[in-house]
Amino acid sequence: MRISNSAYMGVETLVRLAVQTGDKPCTTQGLAEWINRSVSYTEGLMARLRNAGLVVARHGPGGGYVLARPADQITVAEVFQAVDEPSELPDRALDAATLEPEASHGLHGTDLLWAALKNAVLLFLNGVSLADLAPEAAGLAGDDSNKGPGAMCRPDMPSTARH
């Protein structure tokens, strides 16, 4: 199973939103700087996350993005499924031990192995929430109370993104 760059960046971006203090939104520009990507790339990523119901866009002065739900209610598997092509990930994770006959029809030998591995990974990621990843990062966020709008999203917190 190949983990796409978009999946890495989606998780990194949402973890950043998860460590925001209060209900302050992050601008696309600030998020782009933090994940070291262009604004246009970040806008596309955020559009996919918004369409999946993981983030909400706030318009107007001081606007930007916030998580649509609390961090403990968003799983890494949801992020992967939101940003990856549908053909790369199944609609739902299956337990490799109870792979349904319809789902395994046409899978033989190594194909069955890889399908089971992909499903095991998704099952694992379904048990990891953004809140599980955010506590380590939260201590690095620092005090941004005296900075301007969107400053919380500046790259003042080290990224763990795979580039």
CATH of the domain at 134: 1.10.10.10
pLDDT given for residue 118 in this prediction: 80
In a domain, residue 59? The reply is yes
Averaged pLDDT score across all residues of the chain: 75
Residue 38: domain span = 5-85+129-153
In a domain, residue 148? The reply is yes
In a domain, residue 119? The reply is no
Torsion over CA of 131, 136, 137 and 138, rounded to 10 degrees? 70
Spatial distance between the Cα atoms of 129 and 119, rounded to a whole number of angstroms: 17
The pLDDT tens digits of the residues spanning 13-49 come to: 999 899 876 678 999 999 999 899 999 999 999 999 9
Spatial distance between the Cα atoms of 81 and 89, rounded to a whole number of angstroms: 7
pLDDT given for residue 153 in this prediction: 64
Spatial distance between the Cα atoms of 160 and 44, rounded to a whole number of angstroms: 21
Strand pairing of 64-67 and 55-58? antiparallel
In a domain, residue 123? The reply is no
The pLDDT tens digits of the residues spanning 135-162 come to: 644 444 444 443 433 445 654 444 444 4
In a domain, residue 146? The reply is yes
In a domain, residue 124? The reply is no
pLDDT above 70 covers a percentage of the chain that reads 65
Spatial distance between the Cα atoms of 61 and 29, rounded to a whole number of angstroms: 14
Picking from 57, 114, 53, the residue whose alpha carbon sits closest to that of residue 89 is 114
Query: How many other β-carbons are positioned within 10 Å of the β-carbon of residue 130?
Result: 25
Spatial distance between the Cα atoms of 36 and 127, rounded to a whole number of angstroms: 28
Q: Is the pLDDT of residue 85 over 90?
A: no
In a domain, residue 102? The reply is no
In a domain, residue 161? The reply is no
Amino acid identity, position 72 = D
- Helices 5-18/28-35 angle, 10° precision: 120
Structural domain count of the chain:
1
